[in-house]
Structure 1
Amino acid sequence: MKQVFRSRMALVLGWIWMVFAAANAVDLIVRYSGPSSLTAAAVLGVMTALVFITCLRPAIILTEDGLLVRNPLRNTRVPWEAVDEVTVSHSIKIASGDGSVRCWAPQASARERAAAVRRGNPARTGSRTEPARSKGEQAAAEALAGKTHADWVADQITERAESAKRAATPAAGQPGAGADGSTGRQAAEPAGAADAQAVESGGPAGGAAATAGAMKVSWAPSALAALLAAAVLVVAAILA
């Protein structure tokens, strides 16, 4: 199951700017007046590129194979089996082996953290009483008590990683091909020993496992394209 998590406020503000930028771009094209229009287009292009890479692009995407962290300029892919620890301060940090990645979105602001704490410890003043909740509403309130959106996303990542690791671990004590399971166990032992020797010696088995479980970081083509388009508009405005 694919899940996408973003900063809701940044997403709303980003799309509002995109509509504003599109309307202004059309106006500049219709009322083109030479260098002044190019200068305005360059400013608009730079601002739009920055809004795109900081508000619309950042996200955490959970897939069947692992997670994808989209930060402003980089994409980071981490297989579920390689997720070692997920922590939250003002942002979500995912550790994998010797590396780690901090997620641009969603983040937990101090204001959101304080509001979450208040939800977890509701104050009772005077004779004010809260309306009765259903069992489902009460369970949801207890699950989210004291947690921000970033905390909840971190919990989802941790649960998916732990579930994937349990599924990848072979069940202990499975019977083999023989009637009493002894043949299967005897056949499995040499294979396990061979794998262990390959890992210790840095052979093919160990190298393949290390490569498959590694965190992969790459530049984001969409972010670079947006910056390149903005740079072209700036150069055109300077040369005009």
Structure 2
Amino acid sequence: MKPKVTENEQYLSASNRITGVVVMVIGLAGLVDIVVEWRTLGGLLVAALIGILMIVAYVGLVRPSVTLRPDGLMIRNHIRDHHVPWHRIEDVDVTDILRVHTSTGKIRCPGVQLVMKDLRKQRVGGRKLGADNSISRADFVVDRIDNHRERYAKTAEGEITTTWAKPELIAVAVLAVVAVVAQFLR
């Protein structure tokens, strides 16, 4: 049986993702402590606030990514998802983060970003950049997007669509309501 080969490629910031997971694990430890020790409305308030901070860590550090698919480029930003068909992409470049230029404007992609240390090394011309630096990685992603655009733009269809990250926004809203109610009932 042959393994299923997927044509999807996903790029993200590994260091941001690791930091986000560490923050969420620390938050989870705090929630476990609250469940075990603080069975009060004050504990519920603190638990809701920790939950909000965990979601903010997820949204800010873990969620952003760029996925190259045969039907287009999927850009997952902090609270919105953009699906850009290949024929709608006019240009791609990297400043501090990846930018996709379309006829409707630029879409910034925090899932692929440059590390300031690498930018300083490049500008100053000091020590040589390593093969695993963020500049070469970002350039690699730009090259992959250009490659996919050349391959799939002729057959691509559709318009740019943008959707909100509904589960994350709903979770924050519910936890905020729980926090407010717990504060008033305390």
TM-score (norm 2): 0.83
2:21 equivalent to 1:15: yes
49, 52, 60: which is aligned to 2:58? 52
User: Which residue of structure 1 aligns with residue 135 of structure 2?
Assistant: 147
Distance change >3 Å, CA 84–CA 18, structure 1 → 2: same
User: Which residue of structure 2 aligns with residue 72 of structure 1?
Assistant: 78
Distance of 1:71 and 1:36 partners within structure 2: 34
2:110 alignment partner, SS class = coil
TM-fit CA distance, 1:146:
9.1
Q: Do the aligned residues in 2 keep the contact of 1:72 with 1:223 (CA within 8 Å)?
A: no
Q: Do the aligned residues in 2 keep the contact of 1:116 with 1:146 (CA within 8 Å)?
A: no
User: Which structure features the higher share of helix residues?
Assistant: 1
Distance of 2:78 and 2:19 partners within structure 1: 16
2:148 equivalent to 1:222: no
User: Which residue of structure 1 aligns with residue 110 of structure 2?
Assistant: 104
Query: Which residue type is aligned with residue 35 of structure 2?
Result: I
Distance of 2:110 and 2:76 partners within structure 1: 8
Q: Deviations over 1:98-153 (max 9, x none)?
A: 23211122211321223456899749xxxxxxxxxxxxxxxx95xx8993422221
Please list, as runs of the form range in 1=range in 2, the aligned pairs for 1:147-226 lying within 5 A after superposition.
147-165=135-153, 168=155, 212-226=157-171
TM-fit CA distance, 1:73:
0.9
Distance change >3 Å, CA 78–CA 214, structure 1 → 2: same
Q: Deviations over 1:61-91 (max 9, x none)?
A: 1111111101111110001122111011011
TM-fit CA distance, 1:94:
0.6
Distance change >3 Å, CA 35–CA 102, structure 1 → 2: same
Choose 1 or 2 for highest CA Rg.
1
Query: Which residue type is aligned with residue 104 of structure 2?
Result: D
Query: Which residue type is aligned with residue 220 of structure 1?
Result: A
Q: Deviations over 1:40-75 (max 9, x none)?
A: 213212211210110111111111111110111111
Gaps of 5+ in 1: 124-139, 169-208
Q: Do the aligned residues in 2 keep the contact of 1:99 with 1:215 (CA within 8 Å)?
A: no
Q: Percent identity?
A: 27
Count of equivalent residues: 179
2:42 alignment partner, SS class = helix
Distance of 1:146 and 1:45 partners within structure 2: 31
Q: Do the aligned residues in 2 keep the contact of 1:120 with 1:145 (CA within 8 Å)?
A: no
CA-based RMSD of the aligned residues comes to 2.8
Please list, as runs of the form range in 1=range in 2, the aligned pairs for 1:78-117 lying within 5 A after superposition.
78-115=84-121
Q: Do the aligned residues in 2 keep the contact of 1:7 with 1:107 (CA within 8 Å)?
A: yes
TM-fit CA distance, 1:155:
1.7
Distance of 2:167 and 2:139 partners within structure 1: 28
Gaps of 5+ in 2: 1-6
